[in-house]
């Protein structure tokens, strides 16, 4: 199986799958904003500058449901706090120079951080992070621009099952990590907490609280069964 970059565990097939997913998801997200009345150029600017589907979608969902602009922005910020937490998890393994990490921060998404973190060596984690960021951000920008331009051609992205692509992608990323009982416990707890809190707390908070099961990593680490 071919790896990119060479010597890492990132396979070409995985990179293509993520690129394709972000491309189609970007089209979907742009169509959602388009149907909400957002002008084409604002959608493209949002894609390039905010660089997060969940943040703009949370804003759109809150304001469409009658929430204020401030509530929409707060929801957008809250849903993206996870990028900060994910970035902090990978940061010690990336470059010692702060400005390089500052540049890298702009494309801190879920899949590139997860796949970089999968590498045993820090050097390979860096290379996978850079490669995967490009494989993710370029199709993401391209797809969003196409979606913004074609606007009303695809009237119903849900009819094509596009809303199932993101969670399916995450399952494919998570599955190889579920090798230990502790990892499975953390995974199950994270999902259960999010589902338990989603109807009680505003958007974004369930994601943050669902990070807490990671504390199980400390439990029993003395016994050496990591």
Partner 1 sequence: MLTWGVVAVLAVGVYGQRALGMALIDPNRISVRSRQVLAMVPLSILCAVTALQTLSSQGALVLDARVAGIVAAAALSWKRAPMFLVVVAAAAVTAAVRLIS
Q: Residue 81 CB, nearest distance to partner 1 (Å)?
A: 6
Q: Residue 7 CB, nearest distance to partner 1 (Å)?
A: 20
- Taking the C-alpha atoms of residue 173 and residue 187, their distance in angstroms, rounded to an integer, is 12
DSSP assigned state of 11: B
Q: Residue 15 CB, nearest distance to partner 1 (Å)?
A: 9
Contact present, 191 and 225 (Cβ < 8 Å): no
In 3D space, the residue among 182, 169, 195 whose CA is nearest the CA of residue 115 turns out to be 169
Q: Residue 125 CB, nearest distance to partner 1 (Å)?
A: 11
Axis-axis angle for helices 122-150, 12-35 (nearest 10): 40
Quick one: 90 or 131, whose CB is closer to partner 1? Answer: 90
DSSP symbols for 63-132? HHTT--HHHHHHHHHHHHHHHHHHHHHHGGGS-SSHHHHHHHGGG--HHHHHHHHT-SSHHHHHHHHHHH
Rg (CA), the chain: 18
Q: Residue 164 CB, nearest distance to partner 1 (Å)?
A: 4
């Amino acid at each position: 199986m071919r790896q990119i970059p060479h010597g890492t565990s990132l396979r070409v097939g995985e990179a293509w799958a993520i690129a394709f997913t972000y491309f189609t998801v970007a089209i979907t997200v742009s169509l959602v904003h388009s149907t909400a009345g957002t002008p084409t150029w604002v959608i493209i600017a949002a894609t390039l500058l905010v660089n997060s589907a969940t943040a703009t979608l949370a804003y759109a969902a809150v304001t469409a449901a009658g929430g204020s602009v401030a509530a929409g922005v707060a929801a957008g910020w809250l849903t993206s706090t996870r990028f900060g937490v994910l970035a902090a998890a990978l940061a010690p393994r990336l470059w010692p120079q702060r400005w390089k990490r500052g540049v890298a921060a702009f494309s801190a998404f879920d899949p590139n951080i997860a796949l970089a973190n999968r590498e045993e060596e820090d050097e390979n984690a860096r290379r996978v992070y850079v490669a995967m960021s490009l494989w993710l951000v370029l199709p993401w920008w391209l797809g969003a621009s196409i979606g913004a331009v074609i606007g009303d051609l695809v009237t119903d992205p849900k009819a094509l099952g596009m809303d199932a692509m993101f969670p399916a992608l995450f399952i494919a990323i998570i599955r190889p990590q579920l090798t230990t009982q502790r990892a499975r416990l953390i995974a199950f707890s994270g999902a259960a907490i999010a589902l338990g809190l989603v109807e009680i707390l505003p958007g974004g908070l369930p994601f943050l609280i669902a990070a807490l099961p990671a504390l199980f990593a400390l439990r029993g680490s003395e016994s050496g069964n990591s």
